[in-house]
Chain A
Amino acid sequence: AQKVTQAQTEISVVEKEDVTLDCVYETRDTTYYLFWYKQPPSGELVFLIRRNSFDEQNEISGRYSWNFQKSTSSFNFTITASQVVDSAVYFCALSDSNTGNQFYFGTGTSLTVIP
């Protein structure tokens, strides 16, 4: 069973629009960690955020915000007032006790921001 689902394969928005990237995860553990990464065209994955399962507070960092809802097993990522530099592939990942040192990655969402 897929542990992390990113149902949106590709999204296109016009600059300055808001956009939400969905991430749904599956785990039986009570302790787990969720991550978001950005992969720009250069190829290197850049860490954006880590959230543990005991912290359901939403997080805001500039134009980025994350909505963690355990009730729906979702960890969605919103970019406000999108910019062309936000164009990238975004990955959601899960680490739980079953994965040990491993992470389970979603298949990624490719975001294109059109100027």
Chain B
Amino acid sequence: DVKVTQSSRYLVKRTGEKVFLECVQDMDHENMFWYRQDPGLGLRLIYFSYDVKMKEKGDIPEGYSVSREKKERFSLILESASTNQTSMYLCASGPSWTRRETQYFGPGTRLLVL
């Protein structure tokens, strides 16, 4: 079974803090994704990566950055957390585009920024 793990289930941070969310997958997938989920807005893509050190902006990249130094690990960074970044963050991984298979999701991190 594919396993996607996220470093924290719940996180509380203060405004202005630098926040790191870590995601690890064990299926050697090329693609990894970070989404943000808010009520009524569904899942919105923040960034994705299709290879090590490669990244592409999604729909809402402002205020976020990412890092992919190893194939299995994809980090989301909030450079200076703000209250409007309070949300549920979901990481996903998937094989290359040509295979058009499903994405596999981690359990999510609920981030509260005070």
Contact call A50/B101, Cβ cutoff below 8 A: yes
Contact call B100/A42, Cβ cutoff below 8 A: no
B113 at interface, CB cutoff 8 A: no
Interface pick from A14-22, A74-82, A105-113: A105-113
B74 at interface, CB cutoff 8 A: no
Interface residues of A in 96-115 (CB under 8 A from B): 100-103, 105-108
A7 → B minimal CB distance (Å): 13
A101-B50, A102-B45 as given contacts; A107 in contact with B40, CB under 8 Å: yes
* B48 surroundings in chain A (CB, below 8 A): 101-102
Once the chains are docked, how many angstroms separate the CA of A9 from the CA of B41?
A: 10
Q: Which of B41, B94, B102 has the most CB of A within 10 A?
A: B102
* Interface residue SS majority, chain A: loop
Contact call B97/A91, Cβ cutoff below 8 A: no
Contact call A102/B100, Cβ cutoff below 8 A: no
Contact call A43/B103, Cβ cutoff below 8 A: no
Nearest B residue to A33 via CB reads: B100
Nearest B residue to A42 via CB reads: B107
Nearest B residue to A92 via CB reads: B42
Contact call B40/A103, Cβ cutoff below 8 A: no
Contact call B97/A44, Cβ cutoff below 8 A: no
Contact call B41/A107, Cβ cutoff below 8 A: yes
- Pick 20 A–B contacts, CB within 8 A, sort by A: A33-B100, A42-B107, A43-B88, A43-B107, A43-B110, A44-B105, A46-B105, A47-B102, A47-B104, A50-B100, A52-B100, A95-B100, A100-B97, A101-B31, A101-B56, A101-B94, A101-B97, A102-B33, A102-B58, A107-B42
Which residues of B come within 8 Å of A, CB atoms? Answer: 9, 31, 33, 35, 40-43, 45, 48, 50, 56, 58, 88, 90, 92, 94, 96-97, 100-108, 110
